DNA sequence: TAGATTGTTAATCGATTAACAATC
DNA sequence: TAGATTGTTAATCGATTAACAATC
């Protein structure tokens, strides 16, 4: 009831606050004002205070914000106080890169299986996580409660496997395939489109050149 | 002079238009109206027309847009009609994943070197691209004109190597490290922050659950 | 020509910034 | 207490949507 709808722009900044606060924590900084933080992050102090007040009053007048407290609170807002079972579909370089990234584990994202269609990968393990064959996926999903599936396989494969995942109770999909998955509204889809990111870079690169020429 | 400042929101949608038009092209669709396209892409027709008209009038009243023509024009706007020399710094799974992704090559992004500090990787090649030692990087940059560098190495390494790249004429950085690089304004930085993407997913996942409970 | 659909202006909506009273 | 800084309201800015005249 008290929940207002939080805009995407705000949600996108939350992990950023979390990262900067984590850095400050490492540097043993105890407290910080919205003004100081705004200089470091290159956003406005006003925006920081507005963003945070969507979720409650975490600061104190005349003092600012306690770094450790705010860090933990944002962690909770992001759901990092919980643990999630995650699988990776597609054991190529990208899938293996995700599997090897140990920091996810620390934040509560437990990778418990990697799936691929290539029989040569059967039985191989990445950082102790077994690579399983995709045809055993439905059974695996029945036997294990999986919250998140990362799709690191080509477009067609991703479009095929996504409905299977949803059907077996997967709630969120981290999509690296070059397609917008068409799934029911209650499924959370977060996409990372690498080639689109590279195209934005190339657009900006050409812009920059153009401006120089003028 | 005729250039107005294009907003980030528009630039972000350009690769998306490009992808959808590419799909239509494959399906041999010859022409499309903003209205039809808006249904497929789940944006408003108004937005499509507004976005495109930032760059010129590509359509025709009563007809719509010619798919092939519009696809090519957007490609040009994105700078995909040019070729770029690219290097990858960090030959871990993620760096190798990028090196193996052949579609970049097709779009004009030629990966001509991969760098790493691990001497065991010296002499190894990925898809024919040699892995070189990072201490040879400055010399390599002098001998080759590099437009883009992808940083697929840990934060500290990225922060160290970025100024070296800039000093030797690299114009754009595709940053996968968990840091906001502090570089001169004329350097184009496009960042892909995977853990921040995963945190957004986890936020949305918890939101969705909360709404269900109500 | 009549119908369709763009290009573009005007209206609306939402997000960011500024300002300041509340208060630690 | 005086100074600092938040929480929050109001003002501004920008992006999205609606509407429609222009025109193919």
Taking the C-alpha atoms of residue A7 and residue A19, their distance in angstroms, rounded to an integer, is 20
SS3 at position A151: strand
What pLDDT score was predicted for residue B27? Answer: 97
Name the DSSP letter for residue B91. -
Which pLDDT score is estimated for B207?
A: 86
**Angle at the Cα of B46 (from B45 to B52), degrees rounded to 5?**
90
Protein chain A, residues 34-73, with a C-beta closer than 7 Å to any atom of nucleic acid strand D: 34-35, 45-46, 49-50, 52-53, 57-65
D19 C1' to B165 CA distance, Å: 51
CB A136 within 8 A of CB A123: no
Query: What per-residue confidence (pLDDT) applies to A202?
Result: 97
pLDDT value of position B87: 98
Q: In whole angstroms, what is the distance from residue A72 CA to residue A102 CA?
A: 20
B positions 3-62 inside 8 Å of A (CB): 3, 6, 11-12, 14-16, 18-19, 42
Whether the predicted pLDDT of A2 surpasses 50: no
* Cβ pair A206:B147 closer than 8 A: no
Query: CB–CB of A141/A170 below 8 Å?
Result: yes
Show the low-confidence residues of chain B (pLDDT under 50).
1-3, 214
Predicted TM-score (pTM) of the model is 0.95
Q: Does the beta-carbon distance from A204 to B172 stay under 8 Å?
A: yes
- Domains assigned to chain A: 8-77 (1.10.10.10), 84-196 (3.40.50.720)
Closest CA to B67 of B26, B103, B39, B108: B26
What's the rounded Cα separation, in Å, for the pair A199 and A196? 5
Q: How far is the CA of B38 from the C1' of D13 (A)?
A: 27
* pLDDT for the residue B5: 85
**Selection from B94, B93, B90 nearest residue B153 by Cα:** B90
Location of structure tokens 């695996």: A140
Question: Which residues make beta-bridge pairs with A214?
Answer: none
Q: Which chain A residues in 67-96 lie under 8 Å from chain B, judged by CB atoms?
A: 77-80, 82, 84, 92-94, 96
Within 7 Å of a protein beta carbon, the nucleotides of strand C are 2-9, 14-19, 22-24
* pLDDT band at residue A102 under the 50/70/90 scheme: confident
**Chain A residues within 8 A of B129 when measuring between CB atoms:** none
Beta strands A148-151 and A129-133, pairing class: unpaired
Tens of pLDDT, residue by residue over A110-125, are: 999 999 999 999 999 9
How far is B60 from chain A, CA to nearest CA, in Å? 25
DSSP state string for A105-139: HHTTEEEEEEEES-GGGTT-EETTEEEEEGGGHHH
Give the integer Cα–Cα distance in Å for A182 and B13. 18
Query: Which pLDDT value is given to residue A187?
Result: 97
Nearest-CA residue to the C1' of C22? A61
Sheet holding B59-60, edge to edge: B31-32, B64-66, B59-60
Q: Is the pLDDT of residue A214 over 70?
A: no
Pairing label, strands B31-32, B59-60:
unpaired
pLDDT in tens, A10-35: 999 999 999 999 999 999 999 999 99
The torsion region of residue A123 among left (phi > 0), alpha (psi -120 to 50) and beta comes to left
What percentage of chain A reaches a pLDDT higher than 90?
93
Query: What pLDDT, in 10s, does the model give residues B68-123?
Result: 999 999 999 999 999 999 999 999 999 999 999 978 999 999 999 999 999 999 99
Average pLDDT over every residue of A126-131? 96
CA separation for the pair A188, A173 (Å, rounded): 6
Instruction: Give yes or no for residue A198 having a pLDDT over 70.
Output: yes
Strand D near-CB residues (< 7 Å), B 48-107: 49-50, 60-63
**Residue A207, pLDDT score:** 86
């Amino acid at each position: 009831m008290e929940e207002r709808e939080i805009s995407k722009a705000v949600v996108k900044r939350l992990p950023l606050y979390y990262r900067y606060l984590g850095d400050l924590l490492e540097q043993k900084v105890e407290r910080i004002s919205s003004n100081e933080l705004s200089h470091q992050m290159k956003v406005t102090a006003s925006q920081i205070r507005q963003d945070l007040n969507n979720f409650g009053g975490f600061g104190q007048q005349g003092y600012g914000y306690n770094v450790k407290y705010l860090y933990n609170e944002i962690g909770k807002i992001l759901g990092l106080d919980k643990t999630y079972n995650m699988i990776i579909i597609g054991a190529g370089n990208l899938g293996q890169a995700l599997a090897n990234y140990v920091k996810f584990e620390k934040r509560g994202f437990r990778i418990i299986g990697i799936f691929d269609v290539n029989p040569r990968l059967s039985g191989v393990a990445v950082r102790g996580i077994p690579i399983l064959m995709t045809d055993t996926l439905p059974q695996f999903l029945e036997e294990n409660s999986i919250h998140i599936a990362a799709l690191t396989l080509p477009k067609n494969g991703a479009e095929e496997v996504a409905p299977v995942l949803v059907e077996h109770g997967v709630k969120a999909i981290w999509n690296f395939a070059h397609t917008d998955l068409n799934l029911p509204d209650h499924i959370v889809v977060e996409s990372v489109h690498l080639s689109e990111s590279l195209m934005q870079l190339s657009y900006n690169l050409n812009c920059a050149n153009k401006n120089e020429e003028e």
